[in-house]
Amino acid sequence: MNEVFLFLEALPLPLALGALSLVGSLGVLGFTLRWSWRSLRHLDAERARHERSVIAERERVAVLETQAERSWAGYRKFQVVGRTEEDSFGNMATFRIKPFSLPSIDLAVSRATHRIPKQALLELPTFKAGQYLQIRVDLPGEANLLSRCYSLSEVDSGGAYQITVGRVPGAIDPVTHMTYPPGVVSSYLLDRVSERTVLDVTIPQGDFHLNEADLGPAVLVGWGIHAVPLICMFESIARSTSSREAYLFLEITNDDDLHTLLAPILKMAENDPKGRLRIWLSFAHGETNTEKVSRRLPKVSSEEEPETEGRVTFREGRQAVAWIKREVPKHFSTSAEFYVSGAALLLREAKHDLEAWGVSPEKVHFEVFDRESLDAIAEPEASGVSKVTFDVAGKSADWDPDHRNLLGLAASVKVRIPSTCKIGKCGECEVSLVNGRVRYAKDPDWKVKPGHCLPCVATPASATLVLGA
């Protein structure tokens, strides 16, 4: 530095001042360049950090969207991607349905943009063996949207649910003599729905599923198409590594049921190395060609020649608890869980006979598909007078068990409460419980909001009852 000053001293004054100014400018320029360089590097780092956070945020949103796609409230659009006829009369078919909002093009874009594994986008909520979906349709001529429940038989790795639909014929209850018309939704699905049809579908739901906390024996008792949830349970136990025993008593109504309902599980029972799976089949109708049926079964024994060691046994006649008692070990009355799914008559008899056998009601689970079945397992009404007030409509009525439930009572005084399933599964009729208490014949599948009730399955449980309807 001293040399610089000596050098400047030796220069004429104007030249020295110019040189001094040049040195200063060069210093400022160097400082500015260094500062700019640092700023640019800082900006680059900031930009990179920002881009990283934007990508992270996009991925977070995409994951949330994916989770939202996997679970949804209410109904979501699904498209039929496959239909298989299960009988020769068009009375039973299996449908594969996939979410409609994730066409393959969206999948590809989502995966590329957010680097989400394909499987994550395809996955649907899993379900417990025995659960069902609700399908809602808008039928011409019907004042309201109609929804019905269909048991899930499978969810496959391609992201599709599978349900099997059977035609519901009209019926007359032999005990109450009430007439039930044929199922309009099952008829619509079987007669009009094909590949590409879009349907409104809920997430899997329902309390009728295997009790996974108890690995005691499971006795599954079913009738025809209503046995779909039981077959799913049987399959689930067969596939598990537990030592849980499964006994399936199935009443079939026609030869086609053999193929539809049993083909997947007959082999499982036959090949079960631990011998914990048993199937008993019965035909309700004596006119069935039993020889033909027997030929289609891998190993059967008739009732006259019981083959107790056989894993698939065939008999003629209706399902009855008396028969079940003969076939299962004695301790089952206290150790087993019973799952019953079928027509009203089977449910009514099973409820009565299992109770008479000493089976605890907590160990018996019923699946109901219609009003008729629900009535069959309803506890008898407690006597007593109740006055029910419909607060919004400003009307009141005395409770009369002939109305069967609060929805029926509301209709009798022209109070309109929207309803769809009428068996406590869809939540459509939910109203606020302003005052008083209600009771349910069977705990509804629908999760009722606190302070609310489902009039379609509720009856009064207090002397006065006020509903927000």
What are the residues binding ligand FES (CB under 6 A)?
419-422, 424-429, 446, 454, 456
Report the nearest approach of ligand FES to the CB of residue 453 (Å).
10
Q: How many other β-carbons are positioned within 10 Å of the β-carbon of residue 88?
A: 10
Tell me the helix, strand and coil percentages in the chain, rounded to 5: 40, 25, 40
Nearer CB in complex with ligand FES: 99/427: 427
| 3-class SS of residue 467 | strand
- At closest approach, how far in Å is the CB of 417 from ligand FES? 8
Contact of 421 with 428, CB cutoff 8 Å: yes
Burial of 120 (0-12, 13-18, 19+ CB in 10 A): middle
- Looking at residue 403, what DSSP letter applies? G
445 within 8 A of 207, measured Cβ to Cβ? yes
Quickly tell me which residue has 């004054």 as its tokens: 13
Rounded to the nearest whole angstrom, what is the least distance from the CB of residue 452 to ligand FES in the complex? 11
The nearer residue to ligand FES, 321 or 415, going by C-beta atoms, is: 415
* Cβ(339)–Cβ(220) below 8 Å: yes
Kindly give the interhelix angle for 13-70 and 104-114, rounded to the nearest 10 degrees. Answer: 140
Which neighbouring-strand residues pair with 312? 279
Taking the complex as a whole, how short is the minimal distance between the CB of residue 405 and ligand FES, in angstroms? 9
Q: Which residues contact 256 (CB under 8 A, 6 or more apart)?
A: 86, 87, 88, 89, 92
- E strand or H helix at 257: helix 255-257
Cα separation, 382 vs 14, whole angstroms: 118
Q: 69 vs 428, which CB is nearer to ligand FES?
A: 428
CB of 423 to ligand FES, least distance (A): 7
Report the residue number, 216 or 408, with the smaller CB distance to ligand FES. 408
Residues pairing with 137 in the sheet: 146
CB of 314 to ligand FES, least distance (A): 39
Query: What residue type is 286 in one-letter code?
Result: G
Nearer to ligand FES, 245 or 428 (CB): 428
At its nearest, how many Å lie between ligand FES and the CB of residue 147?
A: 8
What's the one-letter identity of residue 171? A
Both tokens assigned to 302 = 């008739």
Nearer to ligand FES by Cβ, of 232 and 456: the residue is 456
Minimum CB–partner distance for residue 77 and ligand FES (Å) = 21
3-class secondary structure, 298: coil
Smaller CB separation from ligand FES, 12 or 451: 451
> At its nearest, how many Å lie between ligand FES and the CB of residue 431?
10
Question: 148 or 209, CB closer to ligand FES?
Answer: 148
Nearer to ligand FES, 252 or 374 (CB): 374
